[in-house]
């Protein structure tokens, strides 16, 4: 029972990060190979606060999320302002994530590559579920708001968006910061769930996993990536598949999706649109 | 001290250049960053390792076998993971994601099947050291550097002089045009991947001999990718120059500043180039029209 | 309608080179407030390029763009929109995977002041504003005869309606100058005639000045005055439809180079 609870908790923590990346990738149309770094920033910031200082857990979580958002500005401002080619942007953020990891490996306060053991385990399933539910509501509201609408417009056609009065740079930057905040929150929860964090937990491989969940779940969908992320974490965990075979599967999945179904499982749809309205707005798409 | 740093920098740079060539070749024709290249290098090293330890072949045959093996792997990789994307003219980003998937897949497949053990090549060159103007150079480093220069020069000649090479250059200019003129695109791209894979094989063996063979050894290719960006993605002379520059800069940073900051510095360099000089030092303009 | 007042909009000596090609060549003309001004010219004359410069997508090589007497040369596109210039695109650019309603809501939203926190929390006041905007969007769709497509995904719309949706979206930015790039392209003669009525209606109802590029001569001759004729990036003629039709240079340009599309 405990085992199942911990699997569900872990999966839900991951879902929060995927939710964030989904806003950035699925709804704003920018790809990132570096979002695990924001999870790492959130994890380390909150862990350091509760570990060395008597900071209450909720405050530490908030600080972790805020720190991730702030750090995302460092890479977001120069790269998004320069309007890089989309693949160059994904690579630039990859480089940023790797650089951040190297820094984490060499700081004293993070205890270097050996990792930080003995973090208080404040994270419980109810806390995680609360954060996840809150996150989904906030994400949905964001996507309906002026800014979320702008994000989707930028994804669909940057030129037309700009001529609808959307400020492209600001919109993309905001989307990045919002997604990083979600990742930071997820990191804070993760650190206080595992009680142990290490820089290698926040590398390119983890970024690729997050991206695989978003892409497999479906671009422009909230429910799709959430389902995918849950399955990605819970299924192999429940089947006790070794970590490397999971990664073999993620890698293969990424290739297969790109080759056969780049819009993903639930591309541009939500779970709610699958039942009920048959001839819904997105039915019968032309080639 | 200074001269020693230069020599160490150059020898690392030579290997970076050897790996960067593979990125540049693919980028010049297909316009995407083939992150599976690192995994192909790693597989090339394992092929070489198998030939050297299981069959006790000499260095020359190991190198040849690894070149052939990695070349075939690269061609298969293209056929399975990229060609259909290419066929429907998918954005280069999709190709890149597919490549990233391949890298994760191959790396962990090796990890899961062969294991995470570190393997060493037999000592082909011993630890011989040549003394050059008072600085010592290991024979391996010197040889690797010269070989890298020769191989890249050979590739350069191939692309300038042979029919296939000229077809590749035409493909760089305009793929659709090329297919209209009756060049077999699939064959052309297979040749490009064969070449890139061949270079991956060479790089894999040199890396393996110099360091060790293990599943994540392809990670160094991130550096080679940075070298390719510095030189200008898609440019062969750029790959060479970028490799040498990065090798030197890194060695100087780690000697005179701090070895910790070395990697941070390299990644910062990558971002800076992507933002301010995406075409690198020698790259061709690849901006899309509005 | 010869108003003595300063023109709403003008370009002065506008020039744009694309390595070697002079796409626009020291072009100057005025657009009077309330007019429907037409731009015609053979394919490749530089008409779309003028729109691209005006809306800030391209930086001109030389020359300036004046709007309400102020220079807007080189302003960023979203700033140009805020000044009151909106446009449609020759090669349709809709937010394809969004509904028609969302397409029109996008620019409406950008004009509103919203509280970020309020939006994230979904406060009643932001919900109310959202409802109001939706009603306004539906209103705009109605004017263009698109209300029954409100929830249709934009790329599922028939071609002619996509052009109309572009006009609706442009109007949602509340422009005082509307630039239409070949609004009738791909329409049959009947659709073109009803589009002419629609454009006239839009001008009345929204009090916009219209600058319109078109290859359908009947449409231009019917509703535009004055007409600006471009050739090889430069101004060839300017005048009423009758004057333009009678201009020997215009006739020569059109006969000499074919008549463009249709
Ligand atoms: N981004 C660009 N880069 C290079 N050349 C361009 C670019 N945009 C336009 N041109 C060139 O400028 C010239 C004018 O193009 P433009 O699209 O403005 O013509 P047009 O009058 O709108 O033609 P049409 O009636 O076919 O729409 C053409 O020769 C075109 O090839
Ligand atoms: Mg045009």
Q: Near ion ligand 2, which residues have CB within 5 Å?
A: C 48, 90
Cα A219 from Cα A217, distance rounded (Å): 7
Check pLDDT > 90 for residue C170: yes
Contact of C192 with C216, CB cutoff 8 Å: yes
Which residue range forms the structural domain that includes residue B158? 2-276
**Which position has the token pair 């905040």?**
A181
* Residue C232 beta carbon below 6 angstroms from any ligand 1 atom: no
Using a CB-CB distance cutoff of 8 angstroms, which residues of chain C are in contact with residue A157?
93-96
Q: Does residue A27 belong to the interface with chain C, where contact is any CB pair within 8 Å?
A: no
Query: What is the arithmetic mean of pLDDT over B245-273?
Result: 87
- The per-residue pLDDT of chain A, averaged, comes to 88
Instruction: Please tell me the predicted confidence (pLDDT) of residue A286.
Output: 31
Query: Does B286 fall in a domain?
Result: no
Q: Which of B231, B102, B11, B28 is nearest to A259 (CA)?
A: B102
Look at A258 and B106 and tell me if their CB atoms are within 8 Å. Answer: no
Cα A13 from Cα A24, distance rounded (Å): 18
Cα A168 from Cα A30, distance rounded (Å): 12
Instruction: Please tell me the predicted confidence (pLDDT) of residue C46.
Output: 93
Which has the minimum average pLDDT: A100-109, A124-133, A138-147, A264-273? Answer: A264-273
Which chains, if any, share at least 3 CB pairs under 8 A with chain C?
A: A, B
Which has the minimum average pLDDT: B140-149, B277-286, C22-31, C190-199? Answer: B277-286
Instruction: Please tell me the predicted confidence (pLDDT) of residue A282.
Output: 38
Say what percent of chain B tops pLDDT 70: 91
Give the CA count within 13 Å in the CB-facing half-sphere of A99.
21
Three-state SS for B173? Answer: helix
Greater pLDDT, B3 or A76? A76
Q: At CB < 8 Å, which residues of chain B contact C?
A: 290
Using a CB-CB distance cutoff of 8 angstroms, which residues of chain A are in contact with residue C152?
281
Supply the residue whose CA is at minimum distance from atom 3 of ligand 1: C18
Q: How far is the CA of C48 from the centre of ligand 1 (A)?
A: 7
Label residue A287 by pLDDT band (50, 70, 90): very low
Residue in C21, C90, C216 to alter for ligand 1 test, most ligand atoms within 8 A of Cβ: C21
Domain boundaries, chain A: 2-202
Residue partners of C259: CB distance under 8 A and separation at least 6: C42
Check pLDDT > 80 for residue A124: yes
Check pLDDT > 50 for residue C260: no
**Which position has the token pair 């940057």?**
A158
Label residue A1 by pLDDT band (50, 70, 90): low
Q: What are phi and psi of A266, to 5 degrees?
A: -120, 40
Q: Which of B259, B191, B246, B206 is nearest to B20 (CA)?
A: B246
Instruction: Please tell me the predicted confidence (pLDDT) of residue A283.
Output: 33
Query: What is the arithmetic mean of pLDDT over A186-208?
Result: 93
Q: What CATH number should be reported for the domain holding residue B26?
A: 1.10.3470
Q: How far is the CA of C46 from the centre of ligand 1 (A)?
A: 5
Instruction: Please tell me the predicted confidence (pLDDT) of residue C67.
Output: 95
Q: Does residue A177 belong to the interface with chain C, where contact is any CB pair within 8 Å?
A: no
Check pLDDT > 80 for residue A270: no
User: Can you read off the two tokens belonging to residue B13?
Assistant: 């740079």
Q: What are phi and psi of C224, to 5 degrees?
A: -100, 140
Looking from the CA of residue C16, the nearest atom of ligand 1 is 12
Check pLDDT > 90 for residue C214: yes
Instruction: Please tell me the predicted confidence (pLDDT) of residue A284.
Output: 32
Check pLDDT > 70 for residue A277: no
- Residue A49: enclosing H or E segment and its boundaries? helix A35-52
Instruction: Please tell me the predicted confidence (pLDDT) of residue B153.
Output: 85
Check pLDDT > 60 for residue A285: no
- Residue C24: enclosing H or E segment and its boundaries? strand C21-31
Report the predicted TM-score, pTM, of the whole model to 2 decimal places.
0.90
pLDDT tens, residue by residue, B14-25: 888 888 988 888
Which has the minimum average pLDDT: A235-249, B226-240, C121-135, C208-222? Answer: A235-249
Q: Which of A231, A220, A229 is nearest to A270 (CA)?
A: A220
Query: Does B282 fall in a domain?
Result: no
Closest Cα in chain C, distance from residue B94 (Å) = 19
Check pLDDT > 90 for residue B155: no
Cα A284 from Cα A278, distance rounded (Å): 10
Instruction: Please tell me the predicted confidence (pLDDT) of residue B182.
Output: 66
pLDDT tens, residue by residue, B32-85: 889 899 999 999 999 999 998 888 888 889 899 999 999 999 999 998 988 888
Query: What is the arithmetic mean of pLDDT over C37-66?
Result: 94
Residue among A149, A157, A165 minimizing CB distance to C111: A165
Closest Cα in chain A, distance from residue C118 (Å) = 9
Count of domains observed in chain B: 1
Three-state SS for C184? Answer: coil
Q: Which of A36, A26, A85, A9 is nearest to A202 (CA)?
A: A36
Cα A211 from Cα A262, distance rounded (Å): 13
Check pLDDT > 50 for residue A280: no
Contact of C10 with C30, CB cutoff 8 Å: yes
* Residue C42 beta carbon below 6 angstroms from any ligand 1 atom: no
Q: What are phi and psi of B130, to 5 degrees?
A: -105, 140
Largest CA distance in chain B: 58
Supply the residue whose CA is at minimum distance from atom 18 of ligand 1: C46
- The per-residue pLDDT of chain B, averaged, comes to 83
Say what percent of chain A tops pLDDT 90: 60
Q: How far is the CA of B86 from the centre of ligand 2 (A)?
A: 30
Three-state SS for C234? Answer: strand
Query: Does B285 fall in a domain?
Result: no
Instruction: Please tell me the predicted confidence (pLDDT) of residue A275.
Output: 56
Cα C250 from Cα A237, distance rounded (Å): 75
CA separation, residue B65 to residues A219, B47, B50, B241 (Å): 43, 7, 10, 28
Label residue A276 by pLDDT band (50, 70, 90): very low
Which has the minimum average pLDDT: A53-57, A275-279, B95-99, B173-177? Answer: A275-279
Query: Does B284 fall in a domain?
Result: no
User: Can you read off the two tokens belonging to residue C225?
Assistant: 């005055």
Angle at CA B228, nearest 5°, toward B227 and B229? 90
Instruction: Please tell me the predicted confidence (pLDDT) of residue C1.
Output: 46
Using a CB-CB distance cutoff of 8 angstroms, which residues of chain C are in contact with residue A153?
95, 98, 106
DSSP state of B182: T
- At the fourth CATH level, which superfamily is domain C94-180? P-loop containing nucleotide triphosphate hydrolases (3.40.50.300)
Q: Does residue A208 belong to the interface with chain B, where contact is any CB pair within 8 Å?
A: yes
Domain boundaries, chain C: 1-48+234-257, 94-180
- Give the CA dihedral A57, A63, A66, A72, nearest 10 degrees: -110
Look at C110 and A268 and tell me if their CB atoms are within 8 Å. Answer: no
């Amino acid at each position: 029972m405990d085992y199942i609870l911990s699997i569900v908790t872990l999966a839900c923590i991951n879902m929060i990060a995927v939710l964030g990346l989904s806003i950035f990738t699925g709804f704003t149309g920018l790809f990132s190979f570096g979002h695990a770094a924001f999870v790492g920033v959130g994890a380390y910031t909150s862990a350091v606060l509760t570990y060395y200082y008597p900071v209450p857990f909720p405050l530490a979580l908030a600080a972790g999320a805020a720190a991730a958002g702030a750090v995302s500005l460092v890479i977001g401002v120069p790269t998004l302002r320069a309007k890089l080619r989309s693949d160059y942007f994904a690579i630039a953020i990859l480089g940023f994530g790797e650089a951040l990891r190297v820094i984490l490996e060499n700081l004293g306060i993070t205890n270097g590559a050996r990792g930080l053991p003995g973090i208080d385990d404040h994270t419980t399933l109810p806390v995680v579920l609360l954060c996840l539910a809150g996150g989904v509501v906030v994400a949905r509201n964001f996507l309906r708001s002026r800014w979320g609408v702008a994000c989707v417009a930028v994804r669909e056609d940057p030129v037309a968006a700009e001529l609808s009065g959307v400020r492209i740079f600001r919109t993309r930057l905001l989307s990045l910061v919002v997604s990083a905040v979600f990742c930071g929150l997820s990191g804070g929860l993760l650190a206080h769930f595992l009680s142990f964090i290490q820089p290698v937990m926040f590398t390119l491989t983890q970024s690729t996993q997050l991206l695989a969940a978003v892409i497999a779940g479906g671009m422009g969908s909230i429910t799709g990536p959430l389902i995918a992320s849950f399955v990605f974490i819970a299924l192999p965990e429940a089947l006790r598949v070794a970590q490397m075979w999971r990664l073999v599967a993620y890698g293969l999945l990424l290739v297969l999706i790109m080759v056969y179904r780049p819009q993903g499982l639930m591309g541009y749809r939500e779970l709610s649109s699958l039942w009920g309205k048959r001839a819904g707005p997105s039915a019968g798409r032309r080639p | 001290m200074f001269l020693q740093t230069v020599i160490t920098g150059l020898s690392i740079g030579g290997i970076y250049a050897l790996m960067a060539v593979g990125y540049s070749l693919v980028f010049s024709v297909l316009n995407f960053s083939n992150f599976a290249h690192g995994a192909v290098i790693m597989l090339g090293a394992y092929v070489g390792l198998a030939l050297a330890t299981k069959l006790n072949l000499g260095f020359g045959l190991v190198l040849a076998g690894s070149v052939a093996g990695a070349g075939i792997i690269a061609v298969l990789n293209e056929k399975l993971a990229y060609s259909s994307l290419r066929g429907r003219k998918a954005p280069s980003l999709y190709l890149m994601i597919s490549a990233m998937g391949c890298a994760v897949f191959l790396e962990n497949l090796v990890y899961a099947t062969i294991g995470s053990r570190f393997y060493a090549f037999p000592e082909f060159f011993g630890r011989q050291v040549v003394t050059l103007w008072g600085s010592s150079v290991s024979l391996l480093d010197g040889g690797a550097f010269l070989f890298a220069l020769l191989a890249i020069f050979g590739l350069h000649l191939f692309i300038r002089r042979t029919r296939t090479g000229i077809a590749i250059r035409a493909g760089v200019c305009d793929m659709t045009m090329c297919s209209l003129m009756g060049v077999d695109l699939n064959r052309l791209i297979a040749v490009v991947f064969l070449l890139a894979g061949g270079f991956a094989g060479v790089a894999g063996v040199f890396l393996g001999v110099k360091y060790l063979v293990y599943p994540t050894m392809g990670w160094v290719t991130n550096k080679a990718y940075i070298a390719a960006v510095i030189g200008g993605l898609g440019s062969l002379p750029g790959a060479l120059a970028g490799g040498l520059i990065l090798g030197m800069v890194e060695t100087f940073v780690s000697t005179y500043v701090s070895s910790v900051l070395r990697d941070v510095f390299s990644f910062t360099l990558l971002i800076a180039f992507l933002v301010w000089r995406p075409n690198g030092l020698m790259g061709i303009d690849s901006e899309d029209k509005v | 309608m010869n108003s003595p007042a300063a023109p709403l909009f003008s370009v002065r000596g506008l020039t744009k080179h694309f390595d070697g090609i002079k796409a626009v060549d020291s072009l100057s003309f005025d657009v009077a407030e309330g007019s429907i001004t037409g731009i015609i010219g053979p394919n490749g004359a530089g008409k779309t390029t003028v729109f691209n410069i005006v809306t800030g997508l391209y930086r001109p090589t030389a020359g300036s763009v004046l709007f309400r007497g102020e220079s807007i040369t080189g302003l960023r596109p979203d700033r140009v929109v805020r000044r009151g210039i909106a446009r449609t695109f020759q090669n349709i650019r809709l937010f394809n995977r969004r509904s028609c309603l969302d397409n029109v809501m996008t620019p409406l939203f950008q004009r509103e002041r919203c509280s970020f926190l309020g939006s994230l929390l979904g406060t009643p006041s932001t919900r109310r504003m959202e409802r109001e905007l939706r009603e306004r969007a539906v209103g705009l769709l109605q004017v263009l005869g698109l209300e029954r497509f409100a929830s249709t995904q934009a790329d599922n719309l028939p071609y002619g309606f996509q052009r109309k949706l572009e006009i609706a979206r442009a109007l949602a930015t509340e422009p005082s100058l509307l630039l239409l790039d070949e609004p009738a392209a791909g329409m049959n003669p009947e659709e073109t005639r009803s589009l002419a009525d629609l454009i006239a209606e839009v001008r009345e109802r929204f009090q916009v000045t219209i600058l319109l590029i078109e290859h359908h001569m009947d449409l231009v001759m019917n509703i535009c005055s004055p007409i600006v004729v471009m050739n090889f990036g430069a101004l060839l003629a300017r005048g009423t439809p009758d004057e333009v039709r009678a201009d020997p240079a215009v006739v020569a340009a059109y006969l000499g180079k074919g008549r463009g599309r249709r």
